[in-house]
């Protein structure tokens, strides 16, 4: 327990008066050219980018630009956060099948009552071991596999996280043990119940039986049935997570029309009929209880009651319109083309080829003064590690933790829905990117892989890396004698995960001023609601549709290491103040001032962006003051809107997503608290594998290794413009991390992509081009052609699969399916 460790004094609240000493007219012309200091002299691990420069120099100048991908470089250290090799995975799988006590069945042969391997992936190393290797001379941490077993050969099916190793597997040394330390479930045995073990029975046996029972009604309402026959045009699916209050397991399911074309419009076709099932009794479908129908906000406890009401002659049954698929729900070009739209729009090219390097084996990237390692896992997709600027680590880890979409509505389907998306996983759905659309045509791509059913699937070209020039400068200033202006060239890593109906585009950007941003944009199909009676929960957006209100909250881990791991969180607020000054002739002046305070411990470390955005959140190193006595640090600030969960104490989520409750949450870094959630938190919302609220046990946060868990998100009330798909212009949330007194001045001054033009009396007197390397040869080191514009899209292939058991590395095949 940290309470006793917390020896820091009570927060020192100091007020600072900012007395401006600038007296000169800021609009006056400078008499001497300002000498712009390049003041930062941090320890440089090595001269970065020298090898990138050499690689660029080697290029023949008749190469076309489209082919000048990132330069091959060599990572300074192995990527200890990287994926298992094919051989390592195959070794683990073979070994697992040889352990009789695990009683495993191969996925192809397994039914609902067999134990299967759900997941095999690299176990992430403890930070302490990782740093000893990355920063020191220690050997790389011993490799283990994180395996998730789906144990269904029992009345009480459960998932079990286990650790297998060391790797590579050797029959003499290999062993497995329950993996418990990263989780905090009360039972603490690395197991969580499986509430979806009988999904197949549910969606076939149970649903088809009910579908047949009310076929007379569905035929009359919609000329459609769901009975497991060829002519089914209805589909049934329901809430997630299932209701788990009071030791009962209840589901609500809804009837939807099937989409009638290749488009994925199913979530736009609700029909307004719902039913309840109580599955508390166990796994056998004969023990499940049908609990009633809901239509038009009227609940019928039995099918007989529903049928009687439906066909009643005395009290005519009120039928509502069904949602009907059509062009309104399809995404292809439609309508009169826009003026001049047939001409090609402007396009960026990379005339010198890529100006960055990647070690494809280690997934290590260098761009200008930045470097980082890429990691990829099933649950959360991309995570970045050891993000450095000029060799100095800024962040140990940065990446998505969990994403929820919490709906509400008059009906139990919308009311009961609060998706926790890592259940489905961001890794399995990080599909191949579309060149020239998701990323510029000149981007460099990285493959990613995930394990499923004794195979490894590779998403080809699923992460892209590229440089771009913003359509606005990073700096400018004009006077009546000169203008100085600098391009905003920045570097991007992007991946897109399509989890069900929604496409999340994740963008990590690195800027020349030392700032870093994380953004998420959403597109794809909304999950709509049936409109009847839903006016308090969404706009009426189509004949039978309500744009079902929902919150998106996406949690990111930002493990800052500012000049070491001893960091503190300083809050600096601008506050209104009434102050009498020696010069104010005894009069109080209404003005404002700064208030500074430190977050002392985990009892006060969860909070929201304050009113009026007046509070700066600074992660500083109190032992690293700059020469003016200010702490060097990084500031965290919203880039575009963010959100936390509106619902308090959600009946759907109970203890499964306490991470969504605030905008910003700081904890002390611990190897036992590596992730905000477990992918199967939705299987036990009362006592989930990871209950984030338990992270807050009062530990000290002054001069400690800190982790920020920050939420991005959107309060989404879909309007007509969300049809057919939500658009990424506005479905957008982002956060920035910016240096705050970290350098002695703006480090973007180093870029040569700036210019100063002096002029007087209508005549240009001097043009200072800072890029001294602008000979024609250097500008065009590759042949500019229009290849990027005409990207060949016939090479989009989808995922490649390699069978692991039996191991068959030489016969890869194509199959793009996240989870079978
Ligand atoms: C935690 O911080 C609060 C507020 O600064 C303070 O009241 C409390 O005493 C601190 N707890 C410990 C254990 O230091
Ligand atoms: C590029 O130039 C080199 C050397 O002049 C030549 O060997 C090579 O064939 C040329 N390549 C193309 C694609 O024209
Ligand atoms: C092993 O699993 C099978 C189903 O795959 C089951 O029938 C059998 O009872 C299980 N054996 C043990 C010892 O649990
Ligand atoms: C990682 O840290 C946890 C918690 O301290 C510990 O239980 C575990 O053994 C460590 N793992 C390794 C490989 O040292
Ligand atoms: C390890 O054990 C398995 C199962 O008993 C066996 O098939 C395999 O050949 C063994 N491997 C080695 C290297 O001994
Ligand atoms: C009902 O659907 C069937 C096809 O499933 C179609 O042949 C029939 O014309 C439809 N009836 C009406 C009234 O639309
Ligand atoms: C589908 O076929 C079954 C069996 O022939 C029939 O009972 C049902 O009415 C059909 N459904 C529709 C929508 O026509
Ligand atoms: C991605 O996978 C494809 C297909 O296996 C392969 O051709 C390509 O070289 C891989 N790309 C990288 C960067 O490894
Ligand atoms: C971090 O703080 C601890 C004690 O709070 C101290 O022992 C350690 O030397 C500090 N580390 C650095 C790099 O200053
Ligand atoms: C949350 O709601 C449940 C009932 O749904 C209640 O038992 C529990 O006490 C509530 N918790 C809090 C912190 O309000
Ligand atoms: C390009 O710029 C470099 C300096 O980086 C210079 O040495 C070289 O002569 C220039 N020209 C060519 C053709 O590389
Ligand atoms: C890079 C690559 O795979 N290019 C292939 C794209 O597809 C065409 C055929 O459509 C092949 O000829 C190229 O080799
Ligand atoms: Cu949304």
Residue 78 scores a pLDDT above 80: yes
> Which pLDDT belongs to residue 525?
95
**Secondary structure (H, E, C), 538-597:** EEEEECCEEEECEEEEEEEEEEECCCCCCEEEEEEEEEEEEEECCCCCCCEEEEEEEEEE
Band of the pLDDT at 25, cuts 50, 70, 90?
very low
How far, in Å, from the CA of 128 to the mean position of ligand 4?
A: 9
Answer whether 671 contacts ligand 4 (Cβ < 6 A).
Answer: yes
| Residue of the CA atom closest to atom 4 of ligand 3 | 114
Contact status, residue 514 vs residue 370, Cβ threshold 8 Å: no
684 noted as active-site residue:
no
Residue 61 scores a pLDDT above 90: no
Q: What are phi and psi of 217, to 5 degrees?
A: -75, -45
**Of residues 60, 238, 253, 131, the one with CA closest to residue 780:** 60
**321, HSE (Cβ side, Cα atoms, 13 Å):** 12
Q: State pLDDT tens for residues 300-311.
A: 999 999 999 999
Residue from 363, 447, 459, 801 to probe ligand 8 pocket by mutation (most atoms less than 8 Å from CB):
447
Average pLDDT, stretch 690-706? 97
Contact status, residue 574 vs residue 610, Cβ threshold 8 Å: no
Which atom of ligand 6 lies nearest, measured to the CA of 219? 1
Contact status, residue 711 vs residue 644, Cβ threshold 8 Å: yes
Rounded to whole angstroms, the Cα distance separating 464 from 442 reads: 10
| Residue of the CA atom closest to atom 4 of ligand 8 | 460
Q: Are residues 601 and 712 in the same domain?
A: yes
Residues in contact with ligand 10 (CB, 6 Å cut-off): 245, 649, 651
Q: What are phi and psi of 114, to 5 degrees?
A: -120, 150
Residues in contact with ligand 6 (CB, 6 Å cut-off): 223, 231
| Residue of the CA atom closest to atom 11 of ligand 11 | 778
350-360 residues labelled b (16+ CB within 10 A) or e (exposed)? bebbbbbbbbe
Residue 798 scores a pLDDT above 90: no
Q: Please report which ligand is nearest the Cα atom of 157.
A: 3
Task: Provide CB contacts within 8 A for 146, sequence distance 6+.
Answer: 119, 120, 121, 122, 123, 124, 161, 162, 163, 179
Q: Is the peptide bond before 663 cis (omega within 30 degrees of 0)?
A: no
How far, in Å, from the CA of 253 to the mean position of ligand 13?
A: 20
Band of the pLDDT at 359, cuts 50, 70, 90?
very high
- Residue, of 797 and 398, whose pLDDT is higher: 398
Q: Are residues 238 and 292 in the same domain?
A: yes
Residue 460 scores a pLDDT above 80: yes
**Secondary structure (H, E, C), 352-406:** CCCCEEEECCCCEEEECCEEEEEEEECCCEEEEEEEEECCEEEEEEEEEEEEEEE
Average pLDDT, stretch 763-786? 67
Q: Are residues 273 and 145 in the same domain?
A: no
Rounded to whole angstroms, the Cα distance separating 546 from 540 reads: 5
> Which pLDDT belongs to residue 5?
45
Which atom of ligand 3 lies nearest, measured to the CA of 113? 4
Does an H or E element contain 517, and which?
strand 516-524
Q: Please report which ligand is nearest the Cα atom of 571.
A: 1
Q: Are residues 145 and 95 in the same domain?
A: yes
Residue at a domain's end among 301, 329, 357: 329
Which atom of ligand 5 lies nearest, measured to the CA of 171? 1
502 noted as active-site residue:
yes
Rounded percentage of the chain residues whose pLDDT exceeds 70: 89
Rounded percentage of the chain residues whose pLDDT exceeds 90: 78
Q: Which of 26-40, 98-112, 417-431, 735-749 has the weakest average pLDDT?
A: 26-40
Q: Are residues 588 and 672 in the same domain?
A: yes
Residue at a domain's end among 709, 727, 752: 752
Average pLDDT, stretch 329-354? 87
Q: What are phi and psi of 120, to 5 degrees?
A: -130, 120
Answer whether 98 contacts ligand 5 (Cβ < 6 A).
Answer: yes
Residue in 253, 411, 421, 561 annotated catalytic: 421
Residue 299 belongs to some domain of the structure: yes
Residue at a domain's end among 721, 752, 783: 752
Residue in 502, 525, 634, 742 annotated catalytic: 502
Q: State pLDDT tens for residues 206-256.
A: 999 999 999 999 999 999 999 999 999 999 999 999 999 888 999 999 999
Answer whether 697 contacts ligand 1 (Cβ < 6 A).
Answer: no
Q: What CATH number does residue 563 fall under?
A: 2.70.98.20
Please count the structural domains in the chain.
Answer: 3
Answer whether 173 contacts ligand 5 (Cβ < 6 A).
Answer: no
> Which pLDDT belongs to residue 19?
28
Q: Are residues 261 and 129 in the same domain?
A: no
How far, in Å, from the CA of 672 to the mean position of ligand 10?
A: 27
Residue 63 belongs to some domain of the structure: no
Residue 512 scores a pLDDT above 80: yes
Q: Please report which ligand is nearest the Cα atom of 115.
A: 3
Residue 724 scores a pLDDT above 90: yes
Q: What are phi and psi of 615, to 5 degrees?
A: -110, 125
| Residue of the CA atom closest to atom 8 of ligand 10 | 649
Residue 686 belongs to some domain of the structure: yes
| Residue of the CA atom closest to atom 3 of ligand 2 | 60
| Residue of the CA atom closest to atom 1 of ligand 4 | 126
Q: State pLDDT tens for residues 368-380.
A: 999 999 999 999 9
Band of the pLDDT at 668, cuts 50, 70, 90?
very high
Answer whether 181 contacts ligand 4 (Cβ < 6 A).
Answer: yes
Residue 427 belongs to some domain of the structure: no
The structure tokens 């477990």 sit at: 678
Q: Are residues 229 and 145 in the same domain?
A: no
Q: Are residues 688 and 566 in the same domain?
A: yes
| Residue of the CA atom closest to atom 9 of ligand 9 | 566
Residue 276 belongs to some domain of the structure: yes
> Which pLDDT belongs to residue 73?
93
How far, in Å, from the CA of 69 to the mean position of ligand 11?
A: 20
How far, in Å, from the CA of 674 to the mean position of ligand 10?
A: 27
How far, in Å, from the CA of 60 to the mean position of ligand 2?
A: 7
Query: Tokens representing 589?
Result: 């002046």
Neighbours of 136 (CB within 10 A): 7
Residue 656 scores a pLDDT above 60: yes
Per the prediction, the chain carries an average pLDDT of 89
Q: Are residues 626 and 672 in the same domain?
A: yes
| Residue of the CA atom closest to atom 8 of ligand 5 | 171
> Which pLDDT belongs to residue 327?
92
DSSP conformation class of 794: G
> Which pLDDT belongs to residue 810?
82
Residue 375 belongs to some domain of the structure: no
Residue 537 belongs to some domain of the structure: yes
Q: Are residues 695 and 604 in the same domain?
A: yes
Answer whether 603 contacts ligand 1 (Cβ < 6 A).
Answer: yes
Q: Please report which ligand is nearest the Cα atom of 527.
A: 13
How far, in Å, from the CA of 601 to the mean position of ligand 1?
A: 6
How far, in Å, from the CA of 803 to the mean position of ligand 5?
A: 19
Q: What CATH number does residue 281 fall under?
A: 3.10.450.40
Q: Are residues 525 and 649 in the same domain?
A: yes
Rounded to whole angstroms, the Cα distance separating 294 from 254 reads: 9
Answer whether 604 contacts ligand 1 (Cβ < 6 A).
Answer: yes
Which atom of ligand 9 lies nearest, measured to the CA of 623? 14
> Which pLDDT belongs to residue 300?
98
Residue 166 scores a pLDDT above 70: yes
- Residue, of 17 and 649, whose pLDDT is higher: 649
pTM over 0.75: yes
Rounded to whole angstroms, the Cα distance separating 216 from 317 reads: 14
| Residue of the CA atom closest to atom 9 of ligand 5 | 171
Answer whether 126 contacts ligand 4 (Cβ < 6 A).
Answer: yes
Average pLDDT, stretch 50-60? 55
Band of the pLDDT at 779, cuts 50, 70, 90?
low
Residue from 73, 445, 457, 460 to probe ligand 8 pocket by mutation (most atoms less than 8 Å from CB):
460
Residue 816 scores a pLDDT above 80: no
Average pLDDT, stretch 757-782? 74
Residue 173 scores a pLDDT above 50: yes
| Residue of the CA atom closest to atom 1 of ligand 5 | 171
Q: Are residues 211 and 177 in the same domain?
A: no
| Residue of the CA atom closest to atom 11 of ligand 6 | 223
Residue 161 structural domain: 4-13+79-186
How far, in Å, from the CA of 5 to the mean position of ligand 1?
A: 12
> Which pLDDT belongs to residue 783?
57
Residues in contact with ligand 2 (CB, 6 Å cut-off): 60, 62
Which atom of ligand 8 lies nearest, measured to the CA of 446? 13
How far, in Å, from the CA of 112 to the mean position of ligand 3?
A: 12
What is the total residue count of the chain? 820
> Which pLDDT belongs to residue 400?
98
> Which pLDDT belongs to residue 9?
32
Rounded to whole angstroms, the Cα distance separating 106 from 231 reads: 33
Band of the pLDDT at 56, cuts 50, 70, 90?
low
Band of the pLDDT at 803, cuts 50, 70, 90?
confident
Q: Please report which ligand is nearest the Cα atom of 3.
A: 1
Residue 380 belongs to some domain of the structure: no
């Amino acid at each position: 327990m940290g309470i006793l460790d917390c020896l820091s004094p009570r927060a020192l609240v100091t007020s600072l008066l900012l007395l401006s000493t600038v007296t000169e007219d800021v609009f006056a012309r400078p008499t001497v050219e300002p000498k712009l200091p390049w003041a930062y002299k941090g320890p440089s691990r090595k001269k970065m980018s020298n090898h990138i420069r050499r690689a660029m120099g080697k290029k023949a100048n008749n190469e076309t630009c489209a082919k000048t991908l990132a330069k091959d470089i060599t990572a300074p250290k192995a990527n200890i956060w990287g994926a298992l090799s094919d051989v390592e995975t195959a070794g683990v799988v073979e070994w697992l099948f040889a352990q009789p006590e695990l009683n495993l069945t191969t996925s192809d042969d397994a039914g609902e009552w067999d134990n299967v391997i759900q997941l095999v992936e690299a176990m992430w190393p403890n930070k302490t071991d990782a740093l000893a290797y990355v920063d020191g001379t220690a050997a790389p941490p011993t490799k283990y596999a994180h395996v998730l077993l789906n144990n269904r050969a029992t009345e009480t099916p459960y998932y079990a996280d286990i650790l297998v190793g060391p790797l590579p597997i050797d029959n003499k040394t290999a062993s497995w043990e329950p993996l418990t330390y990263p989780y905090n479930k009360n039972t603490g045995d690395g197991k969580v119940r499986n509430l979806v073990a009988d999904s197949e029975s549910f969606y076939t046996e149970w649903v088809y039986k009910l579908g047949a029972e009310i076929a007379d009604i569905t035929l009359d309402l919609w000329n459609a049935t769901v009975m497991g026959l060829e002519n089914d045009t209805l589909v049934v699916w329901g809430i997630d997570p299932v209701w788990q209050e009071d030791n009962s397991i209840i589901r609500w399911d809804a009837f939807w029309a099937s989409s009638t074309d290749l488009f994925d419009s199913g979530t736009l076709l609700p029909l307004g009929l719902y039913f309840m099932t109580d599955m508390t009794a166990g796994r056998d479908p004969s023990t499940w209880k049908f609990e009633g129908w809901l239509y038009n906000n009227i609940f019928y406890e039995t099918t007989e009651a529903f049928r009687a009401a439906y066909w009643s002659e005395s009290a005519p049954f009120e039928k509502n319109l069904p949602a009907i698929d059509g062009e309104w729900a399809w995404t292809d070009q439609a309508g009169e083309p826009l003026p001049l739209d047939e001409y090609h729009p402007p396009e960026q090219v990379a005339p010198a080829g890529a100006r960055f390097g990647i070690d494809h084996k280690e997934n290590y990237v260098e761009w200008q003064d930045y470097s980082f390692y890429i990691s990829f896992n099933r649950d959360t997709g991309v995570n970045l590690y050891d993000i450095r600027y000029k060799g100095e680590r800024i962040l140990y880890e940065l990446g998505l933790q969990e994403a929820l979409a919490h709906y509400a509505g008059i009906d139990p389907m919308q009311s009961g829905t609060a998706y926790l998306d890592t259940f489905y996983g961001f890794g399995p759905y990080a599909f191949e990117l579309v060149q020239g659309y998701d990323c510029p045509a000149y981007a460099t791509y990285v493959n990613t892989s995930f394990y499923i059913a004794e195979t490894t699937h590779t998403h080809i070209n699923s992460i892209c890396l590229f440089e771009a020039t913003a359509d606005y400068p990073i700096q400018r200033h004009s006077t009546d004698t000169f203008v100085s202006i600098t391009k905003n060239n920045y570097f991007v890593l992007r991946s897109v995960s399509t989890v069900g109906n929604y496409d999340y585009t994740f963008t990590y950007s690195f800027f020349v001023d030392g700032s870093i941003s994380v953004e998420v944009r959403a597109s794809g199909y909304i999950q709509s609601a049936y409109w009847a009676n839903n006016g308090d929960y969404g706009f009426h957006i189509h004949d039978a549709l309500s744009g079902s209100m929902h919150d998106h909250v996406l949690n990111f881990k930002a493990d800052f290491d500012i000049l070491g791991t001893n960091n503190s969180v300083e809050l600096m607020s601008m506050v209104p103040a009434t102050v009498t000054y020696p010069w104010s002739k005894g009069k109080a002046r209404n003005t404002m001032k700064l208030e500074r305070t430190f977050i002392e411990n985990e009892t006060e470390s969860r909070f929201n962006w304050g009113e009026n955005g007046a509070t700066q959140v600074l992660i500083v190193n109190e032992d690293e003051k700059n020469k003016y006595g200010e702490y060097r640090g990084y500031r965290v600030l919203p880039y575009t809107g963010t959100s936390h969960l509106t619902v308090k104490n959600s009946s759907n989520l109970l203890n499964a997503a306490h991470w969504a409750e605030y905008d910003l949450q700081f904890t002390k870094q611990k190897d036992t608290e590596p992730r905000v959630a477990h992918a199967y938190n939705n299987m036990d919302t009362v006592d989930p594998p990871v209950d984030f609220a338990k992270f807050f046990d009062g530990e000290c946060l002054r001069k400690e290794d800190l982790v920020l868990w920050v939420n991005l998100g959107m309060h989404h009330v879909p309007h007509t413009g969300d049809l057919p798909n939500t658009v990424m212009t506005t479905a957008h949330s982002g956060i920035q991390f910016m240096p705050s007194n970290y350098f002695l001045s703006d480090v973007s001054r180093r870029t040569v992509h700036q210019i100063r033009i002096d002029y007087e009396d209508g005549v240009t007197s001097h043009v200072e081009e800072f890029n001294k390397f602008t000979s024609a040869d250097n500008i065009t080191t590759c042949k500019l052609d229009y290849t990027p514009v005409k990207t060949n899209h016939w090479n989009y292939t989808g995922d490649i699969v390699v069978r692991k058991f039996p191991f068959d590395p030489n016969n890869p095949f194509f199959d793009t399916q996240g989870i079978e």
